Amino acid sequence: MNLDSLMLMRDELVLTVIILLLLVAEILLSSKNKKYIIQLGLVLFGIYTFLAFLPNKTGELFGGSYNTYPLVHYFKAILAFGVFMILLQSVTWIKEKLLPYDFTAEFFILIFSSLIGLNFMMSAGDFLMFYLGLELSTMPIIALTAFEFWNHRSVEAGVKYVMLASISSAILLFGVSLVYATAGSINFDVIKGALHLPLLEIIGLIMIFIGIGFKISLVPFHFWAADVYEGAPTVISNYLSVISKGGAVYVLMTLLFITFTAFQKEWNWIMYGTAILTMVVGNLFALRQQNMKRFLAFSSIAQAGFILLAMLSNNELGVKAIIYFLLIYIFSNVAAFGVVHVISLKTGKENIDDYNGLYLSNPKLSLVLMIALFSLAGIPPVAGFFAKFFLYAAAASKGYYVLIFIAVLNVTISLYYYLLPVRAAFLRRSEHPIPYFRSDNYSRLAFIIAMAGLLALGLYSGVFEFISNISNIF
Amino acid sequence: MSEFSYIYLIPLIPLLTFLFLGFTAKKIKEPVSGYIGTAGLLAVFGLSLYTAYQYFFVSGLVNGKYEPVKIMIREGWVHFTDKLAIDLGILVDPISVMMLVVVSTISLMVHIYSLGYMHGDSGFSRFYAYLSLFTFSMLGLVMSSNLFMIYIFWELVGVSSFLLIGFYFEKPSAVAASKKAFIVTRFADMFFLIGILMVGYFAQSFDFETLNSPATYQTIQGWIANHQIFSFMGLSIFTWALILIYIGGMGKSAMFPLHIWLPDAMEGPTPVSALIHAATMVVAGVFLVARLYPLYYHIDGAFALRVVAVVGAFSALFAAIIALTQEDIKRVLAFSTMSQIGYMMMALGVSGFEGHEGLGYMASMFHLFTHAMFKALLFLTAGAIIHAVHSNFMKDMGGLNKYMPVSSIVFLIAALAISGIPPFAGFFSKDEILAAAFEYNKFIWFIGFIVAGMTAFYMFRLYFRIFFNKQTDYGDHKPHEAPFTMAFALVFLGLMTIVAGFIPFSELVSADRMPFHSHIHWGDPLVIASVLMAASGIGLAAFMYYKPTDYPDKVSAAMGKAYVWTKNKFYIDELYLFITHKIIFDHVSKPIAWFDRNVIDGFMNLLGVTTEKLAERIKFLQTGRMQDYAMYFVSGVIAIVMLVIYFR
């Protein structure tokens, strides 16, 4: 091993350096100058995001524990980009809520640690690295969930999350041990060759699937999602619903498509059932939510169900569809959560009814909300439509028409509730609408990026083509 | 190829006006935004006519066949798999050129008309922005070169019509109607989308030209014949795909039982009804079937096409019956539209393919064309009347002939046209439809024949009750003729209605794209019978409604229950409400909502009430709710594991 091969894990190394720099800054800066940590964190992370998009070599490290190839590399970049948008949105929140308690550096350090964890998890070549990454990505987020310690809901959410996450980790570890017992290795490549699928092994695999399913908030392992999203600071809900979910989906995809392909017959119908359950339950609960954060939580549960459609395909089209969907999903959800975040921060209002007449007082913000929700609902020509369409296409490639039918039925139902906030903002009047305010420039930048992404990515096919070119991971 | 290189301007211009008006809506004041929109549309209208001229009379006809011209904007826009790619292109062929003319003509007239109609409305600029968006989507829809593109524009048309129907957003009924229209059509669209995916995977293409080529349908037909393709309930999966696509068309074209949104959509401004619900969007379903006609005709012995015919004929009859009893003039016109579209569907469904056998196809397109003119005229005239008397209901009208002579004349022309009286446009297209139906199936012809009589009756019921009948006292506020811009659009469409029937349509549009010769045989008993039928419908209407009489009351009393059922549109809306509210809400959503409210929210409330202090809260959590969650979680694990053990 030399420096050259160490550069394979450039992403993780750069992030680690950034964390160290922030630590040093935290120690060196006087309390008066602590506010510059925000700018420092943003700039450093901006540099990281830029670096992440530069091409990297394919290869493996540590005897196959860690490996990297174009798809995972660029997916890390996509996640970094998503985190960057979330950070932009959180500037005001940090200034108002965290700076007085001197928590600024901690916020950045925790969120970056979690991202390192996700990166390791996605690059993992064996269960050890995978598990370490998973835990590293979860633990900081638990702390962040409970970060508003003066707000009891936030603390409550943190406690719920830590408890349920540890149960899911326990189940996952149990599953790993069962697989190890039958296959005799924790290395993915070795396991792939050694799969003979005795019942014990299948049970092990299911438990691993459930452990990841928890992070993706699949039904019936979704119970934590609504409470945690509602209680956690909005930026953290945002992170949980797009970044951490995105990383987990990626891992599930590579495990199912590559390592456990032999397991396909069994997992197909588990996926089938879980997909239906997740879509239906997510939708039905979303229908009657009044709180926007809860509403988005259930919407993101339902969206996870749609991703499973492509998980059934086990082919290149499925990979493309999933990656593209996640990319668009990051844009849509970051924008939607962002609107909720700025409004909640300015006025403390989080209910759909509070949005009545929003269009008259804050037209631009309402427009952002509408486009983001249309994208989530999959209405063309917003990019969300294309993303959904590719998912259907992936399922269709294996002939799952009944499942597609159910999915499309669910999309129609979801249209109903995605229209509720839009209707409130555009078509309703209110005695006391949310007054006009100007959101800070950082959030504005994030909104502009997200809107540009949603409107352009649908029509400009270059991004999809690029994903297609790197999607051959079989 | 190159002679159509300008064609991308046709959808681009309305898009640009939409963007311009959308971004400057607050700065540009009333007449200017209207002029900008209208000027843009005028350019589109000119280009469309030029395209039609160029295609039909200069370069389209190659060796006795109208060859399609495909203009690529981006080849290989999206690659699904190695074989399956989507192009971004424009297809110029007889039906798309015809639709270009229809859409741009009607849209231009509506733009001009609205200068007067929307005068003084606070949302004037917004209205023109939406109109441009709609026109762009509709033009895009008709010019799409593949199923994927048509679906995108299909949805865009849905979105923009949602905006236009809900234009008066202060009116709760308008908002409800726009939502209903959007959701019902979206419901239909989901079948369409699945149909598209299925067609794509079996035919390995989304491109219309590839799909409609003999190579494609012969291959698929070969699979069906050899049972190499999955079948369901005795029909091949490909036929199902075509039926699913048709369901999408049924939603947009308001075919029974997905028609429920159309009458409510009349809450929108009247010019919008003329544009969307008479001439353009509602015929999208007909256009879709026509677009894929070779597939419909050649797969599985045209089974899917027979479905089209039956649904069309039934809808035509069903809507005509309801139209007999409605009191709101816009609703009469809405049901009349549904009935006429049923006619077009029926004509497509009974048609053959080659030469003169494709009469039904040609007649359907012809009727689409003429109907667009006279139905838009009817709606716009209705708008002028509503504008003048400030009511939608016939009871508030009567004797308007005196006050609004121009409207009266153009309404008469349109009513004669829709009734099928020569020499007005509707006569020609309608008789071609009846002739095609007669050749195919006497029963379907008979339905069409009856509907023709009913149409004449309800149209003239409308005409006499608005313009003659009782002399309503309008008080100080005398109704007045429409202002110049509105009258101009009316007169223009009136002229179109008179001349459109003389277009030799079969020379231009046909199922196999080969021109053939078709003309009305004046002495044919069929023609005489249908004219007599229409004339007797008019006569009966005159007898009952020319002057105030008590016949209508007597008739409705004699009909009893039948009248009540018809007037209430056979309670279809109530049936839907019953299903959605009573069954789905009560038995599915409510229990879940109850669970969520009482178990989950109840718990949250309980938490909020009982504790304020953090420690207590956590303590409480540890003993209560957390365990529940963990229990669900673990039982989920156990359930899945057990299922696997059991099924393996």
Cα–Cα nearest to B500, from B43, B106, B58, B139 = B106
Highest mean pLDDT among A232-241, B399-408, B557-566, B591-600: A232-241
Per-residue confidence (pLDDT) for residue B617, from 0 to 100: 40
The residues near B135 (Cβ < 8 Å, ≥ 6 apart) are B14, B41, B44, B103, B104, B107
User: Is the per-residue pLDDT at B135 higher than 80?
Assistant: yes
Kindly provide the ipTM of the predicted complex, given to two decimals. 0.76
User: Is the per-residue pLDDT at A4 higher than 80?
Assistant: no
What is the rounded CA–CA span in Å between residue B154 and residue B373? 22
SS3 B87: strand
User: Is the per-residue pLDDT at A20 higher than 90?
Assistant: yes
Distance of CA B117 to the CA centre of its chain: 23
- The confidence band for A115, taking pLDDT boundaries of 50, 70 and 90, is very high
B636 chain-A contacts, CB cut-off 8 A: 210, 220-221
Chain A CB within 8 Å of residue B187 CB:
yes
What is the rounded CA–CA span in Å between residue A312 and residue A393? 11
Per-residue confidence (pLDDT) for residue B570, from 0 to 100: 66
Per-residue confidence (pLDDT) for residue B25, from 0 to 100: 61
SS3 B61: strand
- The confidence band for B587, taking pLDDT boundaries of 50, 70 and 90, is low
Per-residue confidence (pLDDT) for residue B600, from 0 to 100: 43
Per-residue confidence (pLDDT) for residue A77, from 0 to 100: 93
Whether B72 and B59 have beta carbons less than 8 Å apart is answered as no
Distance of CA B565 to the CA centre of its chain: 25
**Do residue A206 and residue B640 have CB atoms under 8 angstroms apart?**
yes
CA angle B606, B612, B614 (to 5 degrees): 110
**Do residue A317 and residue B617 have CB atoms under 8 angstroms apart?**
no
Whether A59 and A67 have beta carbons less than 8 Å apart is answered as yes
Q: Per residue in A23-55, pLDDT tens? A: 998 888 887 888 888 889 999 999 999 988 888
- The confidence band for B178, taking pLDDT boundaries of 50, 70 and 90, is confident
- DSSP letter, residue B63: T
SS3 A3: helix
- Nearest C-alpha of chain B: how many angstroms from A409? 7
Per-residue confidence (pLDDT) for residue B603, from 0 to 100: 45
How many angstroms separate the most distant Cα atoms in chain B?
96
Instruction: Write the DSSP string, A289-329.
Output: --BHHHHHHHHHHHHHHHHHHHHTT-SHHHHHHHHHHHHHH
- Nearest C-alpha of chain A: how many angstroms from B83? 12
Compare CB distances from B640 to A199, A270, A401 and report the shortest one's residue: A270
**Do residue A156 and residue B621 have CB atoms under 8 angstroms apart?**
yes
Per-residue confidence (pLDDT) for residue A114, from 0 to 100: 94
Residue with the larger pLDDT of the pair B24 and A127: A127
Using left for φ > 0, alpha for ψ between -120 and 50, and beta otherwise, residue B481 falls in beta
Compare CB distances from A171 to B593, B621, B637 and report the shortest one's residue: B637
Q: Per residue in B86-113, pLDDT tens? A: 778 888 888 888 889 989 999 998 888 8
Chain A CB within 8 Å of residue B201 CB:
yes
Q: Mean pLDDT in chain B?
A: 78
Residue with the larger pLDDT of the pair B130 and B558: B130
A396 chain-B contacts, CB cut-off 8 A: 197-198, 200-201
Q: H or E stretch including A107?
A: helix A104-123
- Nearest C-alpha of chain A: how many angstroms from B155? 6
Whether A301 and A281 have beta carbons less than 8 Å apart is answered as yes
Q: Per residue in B427-484, pLDDT tens? A: 888 888 888 888 888 888 888 888 888 888 888 888 888 887 777 666 666 777 777 8
Per-residue confidence (pLDDT) for residue B152, from 0 to 100: 84
Q: H or E stretch including B71?
A: strand B69-79
- The amino acid at residue B544 is M
Q: Which residue of chain B comes nearest to A270, CA vs CA?
A: B640
Cα-based torsion angle of the residue sequence A52, A57, A58, A63 in order, rounded to the nearest 10 degrees: -100
SS3 A48: helix
Compare CB distances from A152 to B179, B614, B648 and report the shortest one's residue: B614
Per-residue confidence (pLDDT) for residue B66, from 0 to 100: 80
Q: Which residue of chain A comes nearest to B79, CA vs CA?
A: A465
**Do residue B183 and residue A163 have CB atoms under 8 angstroms apart?**
no
- The confidence band for B625, taking pLDDT boundaries of 50, 70 and 90, is low
Compare CB distances from B621 to A160, A206, A412 and report the shortest one's residue: A160
User: Is the per-residue pLDDT at B616 higher than 60?
Assistant: no
What is the rounded CA–CA span in Å between residue B376 and residue B108? 12
Q: Per residue in B214-265, pLDDT tens? A: 888 888 888 877 777 776 766 778 888 888 899 988 888 888 777 777 887 8
Compare CB distances from A284 to B589, B637, B645 and report the shortest one's residue: B589
- The stretch B551-573 carries a mean pLDDT of 68
User: Is the per-residue pLDDT at B584 higher than 70?
Assistant: no
**Do residue B614 and residue A155 have CB atoms under 8 angstroms apart?**
yes
SS3 B234: coil
Chain A CB within 8 Å of residue B592 CB:
yes
Q: Tell the burial category of A356 from Cβ atoms under 10 Å away from its Cβ (0-12, 13-18, 19+).
A: buried
Tell me what percent of the residues of chain A surpass a pLDDT of 90. 26
Compare CB distances from B636 to A221, A285, A381 and report the shortest one's residue: A221
Q: Mean pLDDT in chain A?
A: 86
Per-residue confidence (pLDDT) for residue A329, from 0 to 100: 92
User: Is the per-residue pLDDT at B558 higher than 60?
Assistant: yes
Per-residue confidence (pLDDT) for residue B623, from 0 to 100: 36
A427 chain-B contacts, CB cut-off 8 A: 166, 169, 175
Query: Lowest-pLDDT range, A232-246, A282-296, B470-484, B567-581?
Result: B567-581
Whether B208 and B147 have beta carbons less than 8 Å apart is answered as yes
- Nearest C-alpha of chain B: how many angstroms from A408? 6
Rg (alpha carbons) of chain A, rounded to whole number: 21
Compare CB distances from A156 to B78, B79, B617 and report the shortest one's residue: B617
Chain A CB within 8 Å of residue B589 CB:
yes
A214 chain-B contacts, CB cut-off 8 A: 633
- The confidence band for B26, taking pLDDT boundaries of 50, 70 and 90, is low
**Do residue B630 and residue A202 have CB atoms under 8 angstroms apart?**
no
Residues 345-404 on B with a CB inside 8 Å of A are: none
Number of residues in chain B? 648
Per-residue confidence (pLDDT) for residue B604, from 0 to 100: 42
The residues near A247 (Cβ < 8 Å, ≥ 6 apart) are A79, A118, A119, A121, A122, A137, A215
Q: Per residue in B445-454, pLDDT tens? A: 888 888 888 8
A423 chain-B contacts, CB cut-off 8 A: 175, 179
- The stretch A133-144 carries a mean pLDDT of 92
User: Is the per-residue pLDDT at B556 higher than 50?
Assistant: yes
Chain A CB within 8 Å of residue B571 CB:
no
Q: Per residue in A346-401, pLDDT tens? A: 888 888 888 887 877 787 888 889 889 989 988 877 888 888 888 888 888 888 88
State the best of A178, A215, A290, A397 to mutate against chain B, taking most chain B CBs within 10 Å: A397
User: Is the per-residue pLDDT at B132 higher than 70?
Assistant: yes
Q: According to the 3-state scheme, what is the secondary structure of A318-363?
A: HHHHHHHHHHHHHHHHHHHHHHHHHHHHHHCCCECHHHCCHHHHCH
B170 chain-A contacts, CB cut-off 8 A: 429
- The stretch B327-346 carries a mean pLDDT of 87
Residue with the larger pLDDT of the pair B608 and A441: A441
The residues near B167 (Cβ < 8 Å, ≥ 6 apart) are B123, B126, B127, B130, B174, B268, B269, B272
- The confidence band for B595, taking pLDDT boundaries of 50, 70 and 90, is very low
**Strand B231-232, strand A66-68: pairing:** unpaired
Per-residue confidence (pLDDT) for residue A111, from 0 to 100: 93
CA-to-CA dists, residue B56 to A425, B64, B140, B175, B510, angstroms: 48, 12, 20, 43, 13
Per-residue confidence (pLDDT) for residue B579, from 0 to 100: 61
Using left for φ > 0, alpha for ψ between -120 and 50, and beta otherwise, residue A357 falls in left
Residue with the larger pLDDT of the pair B616 and B250: B250
Compare CB distances from A159 to B148, B600, B618 and report the shortest one's residue: B618
- The confidence band for B648, taking pLDDT boundaries of 50, 70 and 90, is low
Q: Which residue of chain A comes nearest to B81, CA vs CA?
A: A317
- The confidence band for B624, taking pLDDT boundaries of 50, 70 and 90, is very low
